[in-house]
Amino acid sequence: MSKSNIMNTYGRFDVTFEKGLGSKVYDTKGKEYIDFVCGVAVNCLGHSHPSINKVLNEQSNKLIHVSNLYWNIPQINLAKKLAVYSDHDQVFFCNSGTEAVETGLKLARKYGKLQSSTKNTIIYMKNSFHGRTLGALSVTGQEKYQKDFMPLMKGIKAVSFNNIKDLKENINEDTCGVIIEPIQGEGGLIKAEKGFLQEARALCDQFDALLIFDEVQCGIGRTGTLFAYESFGVIPDVICMAKGLGGGFPIGATLANQKASSAFSPGDHGCTFGGNPLACAVSLAVLEELVDKGIVDEVNEKSGYFVEKLEILKSKYNVIEDIQGMGLMLGIKVNIEPKSIVNKCFEKGLLLVGAGKDVVRILPPLNVKKEEIDEAFEILENVLADY
C-alpha cells in the first residue's frame, strides 16, 4: 500500500487501523488496541456504537444533505436539544472545531462593530489551542503552531492563562471578545481556575465583550457535565463545540445567548455542510445516548476510579510528577519525554497521546467499562515499571 499520496502534515505511528468496537480498535494485522485516544476526544461512545450506526443507516436513506437555503428536521431538532440542555438557545452549525471557533471570533467582531469601529480586539490565552485555520491559529497561544504562518490576524492580544492581573491590564473598551479553553487540552491538560473564569466573566460584562469558551475538547461530557462550563459554574456568552458532538461523525456547533447571536444577520456567516441532516441526526442520537442514558452522570465516578489508580502509580514511580485534568480528560505529568511512554504503551496495545511538553493524555470513551480501565492500567503500569 503506497502512502506517498497523502500530504505530509502528521507525525504518524506505523500502523493502519481497519475496524473498531467499543473501546477497542484493530489494525490490519488483527492486533487489538485499547483506544484511550478516541480520535482525540471524538469517539465519546467508543467505536461502532449501535445507536450511531442505526441512525446513520436510517437518515442516509432519507436525506443526507440539503442546502441551508432550506430547513431540515434533524438540524431543527438538534438545535432545540442543545438549547434544552444548555443555558443558551441560538446555534450555528459547522463541521469542525476550528470552524466553531471561527464562528465565535466572527461573532465577537460583529458584536463589537455594532458598538464602535474600534471595538475589535480579541483576547486569548497563552498556551491555548483553538485550531488550524488562520483565525483560530491567530488566537492559539503557542509559537510552534504559529511561527511558519505569519503574519496572523490583527486585533488580537495574548494574556497569561489563569492570571487575573494580566487579563485586567489588557481588557478595555476596545475588547470585543475573550476566548478561553476551560481546560487547555493540547496545551497539557491545564484547568482554568474557577476564580479566573469568574473574573473573566465579570470583566467581559464590565467592558461589554463576549466571553467565549472553547469546549471543543473538554465539552460533550468529558468533565462530568454535558458542557464544561457547568463544571466551573461560569456561563459564557458563546460556546464552541465539535469533537465528541458527533461521536465520530464530523460536526461542530457554536452555541450563543441572544445578546451575542443577535449581532449576526443573514449573509454574515455560513457553512455549506453545516447542519446537514445526516450529521445532525447522528449528533442527536449521541446526545440522547450521553444524557438520557446517564453516561455523562457516570463520568465522575469512573474518573474517580481511574484517578485513584493513577495516584497509586504516582506514589510508586518517580517519573510521574502529577495527575492533571478532570473527568475523563486526564493527564499524567511526567519528568521524561511523554512520547517515550506513549510509544511503549502503543507497542503493548494501549493508545494514548501526548499533550503539551510533559503530559501523557488519557481520553477514554465516556461509556468505558471499569474492566477496560483495569486492562489499560495494567499496560501502563508495565510500561512505567521499566523506568
Taking the complex as a whole, the smallest distance from the CB of residue 318 to ligand PLP amounts, in Å, to: 30
Q: Which residue, 242 or 384, is less far from ligand PLP as judged by CB?
A: 242
Q: How far is CA 251 from CA 65, 106, 274, 301, in A?
A: 13, 19, 7, 28
Q: How far is the CB of 203 from ligand PLP (least distance, A)?
A: 21
- 102 vs 238: CA distance, rounded Å: 12
- Residue 376 CA to residue 349 CA, distance in Å, equals 9
Chain length of the chain:
387
- H/E element, 245: none
Q: How far is the CB of 92 from ligand PLP (least distance, A)?
A: 15
Q: Which is nearer to ligand PLP, 102 or 372 (CB)?
A: 102
Nearer to ligand PLP, 98 or 254 (CB): 98
Shortest distance, position 205 Cβ to ligand PLP, whole Å: 24
Burial category of 158 from C-beta neighbours within 10 Å (exposed 0-12, middle 13-18, buried 19 and up): middle
Nearer to ligand PLP, 186 or 289 (CB): 186
Task: Please say which residue, 112 or 141, places its beta carbon nearer to ligand PLP.
Answer: 141
CB of 179 to ligand PLP, least distance (A): 10
Residue 27: strand pairing partners: 17
Q: Which residue is nearest to ligand PLP (CB)?
A: 97
For the CA atoms of 195, 108, 106, 227, the dihedral, rounded to the nearest 10 degrees, stands at 40
Distance from CA of residue 230 to its chain's centroid? Answer: 15
Cα distance between residue 306 and residue 373, in whole Å: 7
Q: Report the residue number, 220 or 242, with the smaller CB distance to ligand PLP.
A: 242
Q: What residues make contact with ligand PLP under the rule CB under 6 A?
A: 96-98, 101, 129-131, 181, 185-186, 214, 216-217, 242
Cβ 222 vs Cβ 327: under 8 Å: yes
State in angstroms the smallest separation of the CB of 187 from ligand PLP. Answer: 9
d(CA 79, CA 94): 12
